[in-house]
A and B are shown apart, each in its own frame.
Chain A
Amino acid sequence: AQSVSQHNHHVILSEAASLELGCNYSYGGTVNLFWYVQYPGQHLQLLLKYFSGDPLVKGIKGFEAEFIKSKFSFNLRKPSVQWSDTAEYFCAVNPTGGGNKLTFGTGTQLKVEL
């Protein structure tokens, strides 16, 4: 079974700082990769996804993520965070051809201070 690790559980940044959230997965085959965001009291929204092709994917709100196959990683980045980016961020993995068992990481709580 696949698993997902998010090493940063809590991140506190000042506005305009750069962000990188780590995500590593364990699975021997090919995967689809996702980042979801959950703003306080709200539901999960898709930030970006990788299925195939260019390993650098761009999502909404200036976020991007890079799939590095050799490192089993899919880190999320943003060059300059805003206060409104305060939220919980979840990395998720779904094996291709393996049904639809989307497996989530434990999440990273990001707090952006003014």
Chain B
Amino acid sequence: DTAVSQTPKYLVTQMGNDKSIKCEQNLGHDTMYWYKQDSKKFLKIMFSYNNKELIINETVPNRFSPKSPDKAHLNLHINSLELGDSAVYFCASSQAPGNTIYFGEGSWLTVV
């Protein structure tokens, strides 16, 4: 069983569209994250939720909106997609803030 699963794995879409990436973890963790990996493989945190509450919100355009319906889920919605949004988006979770982080398999987003 995949501990942190995210869908879709691959997504190709046109500029201006709105898309969502879903994430679920079955580890019983309280904290979930979204990370972005750019074309140079640089990883940067975007958001973090603890017990469904937003605790980290890095400098991310407000076109990106995370939603955590419960502790096991953290979805990422992106409005008005731009070419620069093309990246791999990794969902992750940890038992608590500061603990070891476990990553999902990534969602490869390509905006054309």
Q: A32-B98, A100-B55, A109-B41 are in contact. List 9 more A-B contacts (CB 8 A).
A: A34-B100, A36-B103, A43-B105, A99-B48, A100-B97, A100-B101, A102-B101, A104-B44, A106-B41
Q: A75 to chain B: closest CB distance in Å?
A: 19
Chain B interface residues toward A at CB < 8 A: 31, 33, 40-45, 48, 50, 55-56, 90, 94, 96-106
A-B contact count (CB 8 A): 59
Complex CA distance for A98 and B55, rounded to whole angstroms:
12
Interface size on A, residues (CB 8 A): 25
Give every chain A residue within 8 A of B97 (Cβ-Cβ). 99-100
Chain A 38-63 interface residues, beta-carbon cutoff 8 Å to B: 38, 42-46, 49
Q: A37 to chain B: closest CB distance in Å?
A: 11
Q: A36 to chain B: closest CB distance in Å?
A: 8
Take A43-B103, A43-B106, A44-B103 as given contacts and tell me if A98 and B41 are in contact as well, using a CB distance cutoff of 8 Å.
no
**Is A97 at the interface (CB under 8 A from chain B)?**
yes
